[in-house]
Structure 1
Amino acid sequence: MGKSLDTGEHTRVGIIGCGAIIAQYLANFRRLDQIELVAVADLDPTRAQAVADDYDGVRALSVEGLLAAGDVDLVLNLTIPAAHADVALKAIAAGKSVYGEKPLAATTAEARQVLEAARVAGVVVGCAPDTVLGTGIQTARKAIDDGLIGAPISATATMVTPGHERWHPNPDFYYQPGGGPLLDMGPYYVSALVTLLGPVVSVVGAASHTRNERTIGSGPRAGETVPVAVDSHVTGVLVHASGALSTLLMSFDAVKSKSPNIEIHGERGSLAVPDPNHFDGDVQVFPLGADDWQNLPVSAGYVDSGRGFGIADLAATPQGTEPRAGGQLAYHVLEVMESMLASARTGSAVQIKSMAARPEPVELTTLAAQVAEVSS
């Protein structure tokens, strides 16, 4: 299905941070010919050693040792949000490119430092989410670009959950500065909206929270409470440069939403877009005058993708070209979210200063490793 991506060489990756999210990256690295995992590090050496014991050819190192390693081309930064900028800056200072979990940094001020340091050092910055490169968002984007719904007018993006403390054994950082539903889950939704509708020029936001503490529901700390220092329900309107208006709702306070995660409404139809926290899913269209929703065939994006495909995409990006899941987009998304929270505090609209280019679309693509599996 589709073309294949083969960079012709490996990107040698070292991971800093061996928490819960690493399992998804490791599973995908095993099937990505473009990525060679060589080292891991964590403040808890036993967690790094556990990964090394389970992944052939991988060394467990100290953070300092990994940064100094000559066989690490790119550092995958899977630390908590508050540490994203510090780790990224140290990796850049060591001459490494960086790909980080979202958000790019806890604040735009820190994020600017990361991008400027990378520019001076001549290294590349990439950032999650790479979910926007999957077949779900990319098929929806192609439908918009092909004019299937006419000129986009508006969008709604909704994420409702009672809170990650119900399943995460160490949820503290979700409720500290740099966390909250907007900075935690918002990157998936705002990145998708920018991919679908283009950059944002201004925002209006409102926010609240219902509880001052949360009770951990699983793991060895079950029953322990953690304080809430951020707003846990955020909503607002994003004004895109195209003129389209997106309404965003991110909540750790409510229970569930029945509506699709993202809907795009145009002059000649509407699109139901799958969960932007996933890489695939059905895209549906309701054309003007139709009687019901219609499923669209998969037509764009990386097939059967998952976390880490953004690194393979970065590796295949020509030198001097901004990666699709790149630092400029991540910075723009972070500024949008930070500005929503600022607007919530002041009650006034906030103008967005950055203007990230809408990332290039992804053709329907099967990665080289998968092509080999199919042909064997």
Structure 2
Amino acid sequence: MERIGVGVIGTGDISSIYLRNLNLFAGVRVVACAGRNRDAAVRRAAQFGIEALDVDQLLKRDDIGIVVNLTPPASHADVTRDALSADKHVFSEKPLAVEAATGRALVAEARSRSLLLGCAPDTFLGAGGRLARGVIDAGEIGTVTSGVCMFLSSGMEHRHPNPEFFFKAGGGPVLDIGPYYLTTLVNLLGPVASVQAEASTGFRERLVTAAGPQQGRRILVETPTTIMALLKFRSGAIVNAMFSWDVRLHGRQSIEIHGNAGTMLVPDPDTYGGSVSIGMDGGAWDVRGSDTAPLGRPNWSPSGDPSQQFANYRGLGVAEMSSAILLGKPHRSSGVLASHVLDVMESILVAAGERRTVDIDSCPRRPEVLSEDDALELTKLKLRPSTMLAAHAGVDQPSN
């Protein structure tokens, strides 16, 4: 079985779920990890039975073909650029960069080197996202005219061990959580044409209550923490979006899509499973679960309580990109898609700051639908031998 070697750069909080999940996919083989904190890298390597390297060492390894970039957002662009320069394919955590122009430059750099550039979120490829996409594409709710999407919470200082960067330039709820919601919407409705927005800052300082090195510290907030945006899609649909870290409690659905024949409630875009609900003319909701579909089964609990599990397959986009490399096909969680989402997020912040409508120039195609068979195949990836494999660094050749 062919596999591509993977090196992970960045060994912070999110690296553990990536390193655990990547072992679920037979098309990738995690070789090593690296990070600016050498001790953290050594601990992660020991935990998952891989090598701990310096970043420069990792980038020079011939048995690593894909670099997974899990560094803080402000470092994403530099690390991705260095990996591309080392002739590695790259899959980055979101956002692709903290500035839209930088994101476009990274896409162009990857293209010029004939390398693939991917980016989270890949959640839309999970069972819940595929189910929602099928409803849209089948026309079950008619032509989409409007929608609402909301992420509301009390803030990252209550859940992340090192939350300071979330409240500095390049942080905030739009750049942090916006990629999940906006990528899901683009996958369902196509590209965004223009945005309007307003923003506010709920608290000038934040007290860190999450366990970790910053617990008890006060963080000075330097970015808006509540943003309300109006998104106009090229399809004609209009969606009202709100992202806030200033809300103590709420009862709102993550995403509602309204068509001229019905309404669809979309699963939480930060997970890979969940249920889709369809309603028509005041009737009862038709609830359709995705737990039994490939990449939809609940498999992870943030609290460790097995009764509170949900589907978490982070790393799916890496496996899907690996499959695309091996088969010579386009991939779905692409830098082009992520660059458009970054363009939208930056435009939201500009629109809020300047109180005007901002047009979006980028116009990517919706990602190709991931079929149920292809989703299942990603969990085993039994690919045909190919004479093209030798051209890709870090690919294990089959022994028979």
Q: With structure 1 as the length reference, what TM-score do the two structures score?
A: 0.93
Q: 1:350 aligns with which of 352, 358, 364?
A: 358
Inter-partner Cα distance in structure 2 for 1:360 and 1:368: 15
Which is worse superposed, 320-329 or 103-112? Answer: 320-329
Q: Which residue of 2 aligns with 1:243?
A: 236
Which is worse superposed, 311-320 or 146-155? Answer: 311-320
Inter-partner Cα distance in structure 2 for 1:77 and 1:39: 12
Inter-partner Cα distance in structure 1 for 2:270 and 2:247: 18
CA contact (8 A) 1:139 1:300 kept: no
1:152 aligns with 2:157: no
Structure 2, unmatched stretches of 5+, are: 298-311, 383-400
CA contact (8 A) 1:192 1:276 kept: yes
CA contact (8 A) 2:16 2:44 kept: no
Q: Which residue of 2 aligns with 1:82?
A: 74
1:300/1:347 CA distance change after superposition, 3 Å: farther
Inter-partner Cα distance in structure 1 for 2:329 and 2:23: 27
1:360 aligns with 2:371: no
C-alpha deviation, 1:141, in angstroms = 0.9
Paired residue secondary structure (1:188): helix
Inter-partner Cα distance in structure 2 for 1:303 and 1:180: 29
Inter-partner Cα distance in structure 1 for 2:92 and 2:243: 22
Structure 1, unmatched stretches of 5+, are: 1-7
1:334/1:371 CA distance change after superposition, 3 Å: closer
Letter in 2 for 1:50: R
Paired residue secondary structure (2:239): strand
Q: 1:310 aligns with which of 317, 320, 334?
A: 317
C-alpha deviation, 1:332, in angstroms = 0.2
C-alpha deviation, 1:369, in angstroms = 4.5
Letter in 1 for 2:55: V
Q: Which residue of 1 aligns with 2:246?
A: 253
Inter-partner Cα distance in structure 2 for 1:301 and 1:14: 26
C-alpha deviation, 1:370, in angstroms = 6.3
Inter-partner Cα distance in structure 2 for 1:242 and 1:370: 36
Q: Which residue of 2 aligns with 1:327?
A: 335
Q: Which residue of 1 aligns with 2:32?
A: 39
C-alpha deviation, 1:64, in angstroms = 0.9
- Count of residues paired in the alignment: 363
Q: 2:83 aligns with which of 84, 91, 113?
A: 91
Q: Which residue of 2 aligns with 1:114?
A: 106
Inter-partner Cα distance in structure 1 for 2:293 and 2:349: 34
Inter-partner Cα distance in structure 2 for 1:368 and 1:207: 40
Inter-partner Cα distance in structure 1 for 2:380 and 2:104: 37
C-alpha deviation, 1:317, in angstroms = 2.0
CA contact (8 A) 1:203 1:236 kept: yes
Q: Which residue of 1 aligns with 2:92?
A: 100
Q: With structure 2 as the length reference, what TM-score do the two structures score?
A: 0.87
Q: Which residue of 1 aligns with 2:305?
A: none
1:186-233 CA-partner distances (Å, limit 9, x unpaired): 000000000111111111111110212211112232111111110000
Runs of 4+ in 1 over 3 A off after TM superposition: 297-305, 318-322, 367-372
Q: Which residue of 2 aligns with 1:336?
A: 344
Cα root mean square deviation, aligned? 1.7
